[in-house]
Structure formats: structure tokens, C-alpha cells
Structure 1
Amino acid sequence: AHIAHLRRESPFDGGIAATVPTIDRSKLLAQQQARVDELRHAKYEGILGGNPAITVVHGEARFKDDQSLTVRLNEGGERVVMFDRCLVATGASPAVPPIPGLKESPYWTSTEALASDTIPERLAVIGSSVVALELAQAFARLGSKVTVLARNTLFFREDPAIGEAVTAAFRAEGIEVLEHTQASQVAHMDGEFVLTTTHGELRADKLLVATGRTPNTRSLALDAAGVTVNAQGAIAIDQGMRTSNPNIYAAGDCTDQPQFVYVAAAAGTRAAINMTGGDAALDLTA
């Protein structure tokens, strides 16, 4: 998307003529997935499989008590895993707002949007999260006519100047930003989305819903291990990634920390240090 933008908006005036790029989304998707597979193997699968001290168990785990897990194996059956220390890093899943008609429609979450092999002519985006805005700009730069529906303003929890700057940049790129706008009804008919909003009716070929992410903790039986979660289901942790159970740690989007990849990576590193006798803290005020 960035390369397409540079080709369309040449920064070298007349020296390098700007051109409208031809986008082959299916080829881009193949390259994208190949890169993800490469990184997954290099950063995770290769490391786990190549270390004799690590045993990988494929299945769905839940706490049996504060010292053991019951794993329902993908291959069938169950296995009990005992532990002295445990790290929970189950991530989060896209949250779906309770808009009438939405669940009955073929809407996109970020997962479907990234896996799509086509570029919609018109894309409506519900949400103003980082994920929503990243994908909104990406699809706009690849050729979609994008409209963003923001319940408040963009990045309303941050310094107002940030949201104002991003909004101005989006509008300069042709992205329509509808602030203080909510969808009260979603319908899908004849291959088209029809959204009823506080600013009238909006039509689109695809609808992306990116209003936040919900921690993947519901099926873990955390109460059996004495692990406390907040009202949103996020695991409460201290600066050392410890939960309310001193032998159980947590890191990443399943916790009550900001949901950013760099925060998750830093938290995971510190959790590993502390689980093996160290004393590391994550200071998010710096």
C-alpha cells in the first residue's frame, strides 16, 4: 500500500512522473502469506521444534487448579500438564459490536480483510482503533473508496492534536472520515452493505468492523487457578507480569496492558526473566 501511494504521489515533482499503479491483489496476497509463513517458522516454529527442552502440545488448555492444566488434544483425548510456573499469552480476538443485522451479514474483521484476494470498490470501516485506521489507509491506497465511521473522533483517547493530524491526512488522501457517527442498523442485500447511521444511509461493497479486541480468556478456567480478570476479561498483572497467583504470569493482549505488539514483546521478555528467578519490570510511563 505504501509503494502504491509513492507511485501515485511522486515526491519528485516533474522529475519522476506519478503513475496510477496496477494492483494484482491475488499476487500481493500470495507474497504476504509467504512472508508470514517464513517469519512464523523463523521466529516460532523453528525455535520450538529445534529445542529438545521444549515440548509442544497441540490442543486447547484450561486450568485444572493452580498447578496443572488439562489439555484437550487436537488428535483426540486429554492430557494433564503440571507446572511450577505458567505463562498465559493467548492474545485477543476481534470484538463485534451489538449492531442489529451485523452478525447476519458477511462483514470483515481484520482477519478476513487481510486474507481477501480482492480490493473492494467501496469499503466502509466501523471503528477508529489503530487496526481500523491502518487497514482503512491501506485499502484506500490500493484503490478502494473508504469511509470511516468513528463513534467519537480519531484517537480520542490520545492528545487531540494526534487525531486532528491523522484526520486531516486521511481526508487529504480521499478517505472520508465521519466523526461522531454510529451505525444503528446493518443490512446486506444484492451483494451490497447498507448502513443506517446518525448521518444518513451509507452503502458499501465490503464492511470492516474493527472496534477493538476481546482477550482470549473465557475458556481458560482462570478462576480455578485463582487468577483475577477485569470486567472485560483481561488478566490483571503487575509490572513484573505476575497475576494474582504468584506462580502464573501473563503477557500480551490477554492482559490489561495496552494492546500493541511492542508492549506484548517487552512483557513476554520480562515475564520470562521473572519466571526464572530474575527481577524485571515493564515501565509504560517512559
Structure 2
Amino acid sequence: MARETDLIVIGAGPVGENVADRARAAGLDVVIVERELVGGECSYWACVPSKTLLRSPAALRAAQRVPGAAEAVTGALDVEAVLRRRDAFVSNWSDEGGAAWLASVGIELVRGHGRLDGERRVVVEHADGTTTTLVARHAVAIATGSDAAMPRIDGLAESRPWTSREATSAEAVPARLAVIGGGVVGVEMATAYAGLGAEVTVFARGGLLSGMEPFAGDAVADGLRELGAVVHLGVTPDRVARDDAGEVVLTLPGGEELRFDEVLVATGRTPRTDDLGLETVGLEPGEWIDVDDALVARGVDGDWLSAVGDVTHRALLTHQGKYQARAAGDAIAARALGRPVDDAPWGAHVATADHRAVPSVVFAEPEVASVGLTESAARESGLEPRVVEVGLDSVSGTGIHSDGPAGRAKLVVDADRGVVIGATFVGQDVAELLQAATIAIVGEVPIDRLWHAVPAFPTVSEVWLRLLEAYGRPGAAA
């Protein structure tokens, strides 16, 4: 007999949890289906463990830059302690706490692999081979996330490469690590393992962090080299093989062979939709799910199917997925309870920030924090932006906070409207500058008003004053 409920959520990562929680808080009966661990990729194999691995080496480097503190740092990094701390933050890959939280808020957890079986139906296959059929009275939400993409390099898939999962859960640090990919995962894991003592070599098809302002990728490439890493830009291996001794052999264009203990593939993501039953509702298995701003799947009759998080390909970031989840959960509840979906307080039922106000932090050496449009993206969208850039060394607080390379900041401004549409910061601890920029962009705060948001002295946030000075005083000619 089928189990009926108001809402079925497939995927119990942070995104699925937020959809379920919002709908449950509104009074709906909710069942969530998870085939692995409650808490998902972010909690166990991505954001949490990666940032934990990065933090200890970064804290040590920060202390070593500041006289007085530098003299107090006399020992080497304790790699085993770093790995133990990582294990603690991922609860030793136990989801007991996550499952208990679901129960505490009244969300039923069904463990197993969930697949759509037509409109509002989900069949869950359990580990013992038995199945449970769930039927939703109102909606199904897909929050299954994404997997690491495998590029078409001869022999790579057969060489047992690391993906982000293996890199964040490794029990030991390899002596020699090759990283294929110059995006966020590639540079963060290269930074982490170089900081943990590995000999790291990065291969990027183009530059690093190609979707960001060019100076950000240049700074990170320099930072990796300062950590002892070798960075090959515009280079992709022709072939990868693992020999009988377990070594990984990379053959470069031209025939040169390089040997490593492990190779990490970090060249993008692919949707986790190939075995989800999408064909039973008219969608294509293995493809991203196209949704509107209320996260309702396009191409499916009715408004009963939603998709949130990575699987939508809108913004592959946990915080954006959770933002989408809040909107989707509220919209699902509104429809189920007969309330107007477009009459939510603050427009909470739509995820409009996905388009031009997505904040992102790369925890490399140095950090990169960005939100909104880059200069090139703004021009490609038909705008003629005005751009200002300043060095963080123009700010007294930067020198007090940390010695060494100061970094750089850039604003992209829609001059016609007089509002910020993009911001990028590069330097130590610049992640903490990002929310102010996000608020300025989302709130469309006029440049003239930003002059009255006075930054405290002596903080790094005083960079905002320097940026405004570079832009020009209120009412001054451009």
C-alpha cells in the first residue's frame, strides 16, 4: 500500500532539508528520501570538510606574517590533528545528528534510492531490495545535487582518480598530487594539499578561476606558486594511467611524462538525474532540470514538480541552493494551502537573486570573494559599466590586520542607475567584506547613499571609502 503525504522531497542534503523544513513549518506533512547521508554532499564531502582542511594551514600562514606572532610559531603544522579536526566536523561520516533533527521537526525520513514513477509518485528502493511507494497529494521536490564530471582524457576514468569526495575525505596526504582543473574545487584543494605538505601540480585548460575577474585568477596562481605548487596554464594532459606500482602517470602534449601518487579531477559538475525516473514525467534523464524562479520544473504539466539546488544548474553553491529551497518550500506550501503564490512577504517565493547577485568565496591563497557581474559579463549583457579598482594597501586596517601582499578590490557600477552591480575582493580574509557588497547589489543602494555608510577605522572595510573616492564624490563629474 502506498504511503500518502503532502510533499515528497528526494535528497536530504542542506537544500532538500530546507525545502522540507519550510513546508513542514507551514503545516504540511513531509517525507524526505535519502540514499546516502542526511546532510548531503556539502556536509560530508564538499564545503565543510574542504574548508576545515584549508583553515589550519591558512591560520598558520596568517600568524607567520605578523611580527610577534611569527616568533611564537615555532612548530610545523600537525597534519594528523588537521585530519582529526576534519573528521570531527563531518561527525566521522555519521548522519545520526541529521536524522535526529528531521525527526525533531516532524519530517519523516525514508532511506533508499528514490525514483519518480509518474505524476506525484516516487518509488524508493531500499538497501535490502524492498521498495516503498510514496504518493504526494501536492508536490514532489528534487534536490539530488550533482556529481564530479569526468573529462574525456584517455585513460583517466580507468586510473581511479580522486574527485572532490576522495580529496575531502582522504585519510593521508599524498606526497605528490596532480590536480586537473582550474576552477574553485581545483584551486581550493590544490591550496589545501600544498598547505598540508604535498607536492602539488595544477593543470588548467585556460587560466585559473576563469569565470571571475582576471586579476583574481592571476593572484591565486601566484599564491599557489608561493606555496610551492607548480601551475601549468593552458595545459591539459593527453593521457592518464595508473601503473602496477600504483603511481599515476600523466602524459602531456609533446610526450613528457610526469608521475604522481594521486590525481584529482576537478573540471566541473554533472547533474545527479540519470537514475531518477525523469522519463516517466517527460524529462530527459541525465540532464539539468530547467525551472522558473519559483523553482517549478518546466516541461511538466501542472505545478507539482519542483527542483532545487545544483540539479537546476542555476548557481551550484550551497547557500544559493538553500536560498532556492526557502523559496520553493514556501511556494509549495502556499499552493497546497490555497494561498496566492505571488503574494509572499518580501517576494520570498521566488529566487531572483540567482541571476545577478550570487556571492561566492574561493578559500585559496589569497582568498577571492565576488558577487554580481564581472566587468566582461556586464558588457556582454549590454551594459556600459563604470569600473573602479583600488589596492587594499590603500587601507590602514589592511596593514594592521596582516603583513604581506595586500590584495585588490574592484567595483562594477551601472553608471546609468548609479548602483553597484558587481564586486570582487582579493586578499587575506576578504570573505568578510562580501556581505556588504551583496547587500549593496541586492538592495540597489545608490552610490550617493553609500557615501553615508561610514566604515570604521582601522578596518579592512575602509576599502569601501577608497572605492567611492576612486569613483568620484556625489554630484561630481565622471
Q: Is this a same-fold pair by TM over 0.5?
A: yes
The structure 2 residue matched to 1:177, chosen from 224, 231, 236, is 231
Q: CA RMSD in A?
A: 2.2
Counterpart of 1:257 in structure 2 is: 314
Match of 2:38 in 1: none
| Aligned mates of 1:179, 1:47 — CA distance in 2 | 45
Aligned pairs (5 A) from 1:92-107: 92-107=146-161
Distance in 1 separating the partners of 2:312 and 2:120 = 20
Q: Is the 8 A contact 1:228 1:243 kept in 2?
A: no
Assess if the C-alpha contact under 8 Å between 1:193 and 1:206 holds in 2: yes
What is the alpha-carbon distance in structure 1 between the residues aligned to residue 200 and residue 310 of structure 2? 28
Q: Which moved more, 1:156-165 or 1:81-90?
A: 156-165
Instruction: Flag the 1:67–1:207 CA change in 2: closer, same or farther, 3 A.
Output: same
In the alignment, what sits opposite 2:262? Answer: 206
1:14 Cα deviation after fit: 5.5
User: Which residue, 275, 279, 304 being the options, matches 1:247?
Assistant: 304
Contact 1:125 1:210 in 2 (8 A): yes
After TM superposition, the structure 1 = structure 2 runs for residues 70-89 of structure 1, keeping only pairs within 5 Å, are: 70-83=123-136, 84-89=138-143
**Distance in structure 2 (CA, Å) of the matches to 1:8 and 1:67:** 53
Structure 1 CA distance, aligned partners of 2:258 and 2:89? 36
**Residue 156 of structure 1 aligns to a residue in which SS?**
coil
- Separation in structure 1 between the aligned mates of residue 310 and residue 199 of structure 2, nearest angstrom: 31
Q: Which has the higher contact order (CA 8 A, sep 6+)?
A: 1
User: Aligned partners of 2:263, 2:232: CA distance in 1, in Å?
Assistant: 15
In structure 2, the CA distance between the partners of 1:158 and 1:236, relative to structure 1 (3 Å rule), is same
3-state SS, counterpart of residue 311 of structure 2: coil
* Superposed displacement of residue 41, structure 1: 4.8
Q: Which has more helix, going by share of residues?
A: 2
Structure 1 position 59, deviation (Å): 1.3
Equivalence for 2:60:
7
Residue identity over aligned pairs, in percent, reads: 31
Shift of 1:136: 0.7
SS in 2 for 1:104: helix
Query: Is 2:237 the partner of 1:195?
Result: no
The answer on whether the counterparts of 1:64 and 1:224 sit within 8 Å (CA) in structure 2 is yes
Structure 1: unaligned runs, 5 residues or longer? none
How far apart in 1 are the matches of 2:75 and 2:113? 47
Distance 1:76 1:211 in 2: 34
Farther off after superposition, 12-21 or 232-241: 12-21
Q: Does 1:125 align with 2:179?
A: yes
CA contact (8 A) 1:63 1:70 kept: yes
Is the contact between residue 142 and residue 307 of structure 2 (CA under 8 Å) also seen in structure 1?
A: yes
Q: Write the mapping of 1:1-286 to structure 2, written as runs, cut at 5 A.
A: 1-7=54-60, 10-13=64-67, 16-17=70-71, 18-19=73-74, 21-25=76-80, 27-37=81-91, 40-42=95-97, 44-52=98-106, 54-83=107-136, 84-189=138-243, 190-198=245-253, 200-227=256-283, 233-244=287-298, 245=300, 246-277=303-334, 278-279=341-342, 280-282=349-351, 283-284=353-354, 285-286=356-357
Higher mean alpha-carbon deviation, 103-112 vs 121-130, is at 103-112
User: What TM-score, normalized by structure 2, do the two folds share?
Assistant: 0.55
Matched-pair contact (CA < 8 Å) for 1:66–1:226: no
| Aligned equivalents of 1:169, 1:251: Cα separation in 2 | 35
Letter in 2 for 1:195: L
How far off its partner does 1:8 sit? 5.0
Q: Which consecutive residues of structure 2, in runs of 5 or more, have no partner in the other structure?
A: 1-53, 335-340, 343-348, 358-478
CA distance in 2, matches of 1:16, 1:179: 33
Deviation per CA, 1:44-65, whole angstroms, max 9, x where unpaired?
322212234x222111111111
- Residues 269 and 228 of structure 1, relative CA distance in 2, 3 Å threshold: farther
Check conservation: 2:183, 2:210, Cα contact below 8 A.
no
Alpha-carbon offset, residue 77 of structure 1: 1.8
TM-score by length of 1: 0.89
Residue identity opposite 1:131 in structure 2: V
Amino acid in structure 1 at the alignment position of 2:275 = S
- 1:4–1:21: 8 Å Cα contact kept in structure 2? no
Q: How many residue pairs get matched?
A: 281
- Kindly indicate whether the alpha-carbon contact (under 8 Å) linking 2:60 and 2:77 is maintained by their aligned counterparts in 1: no
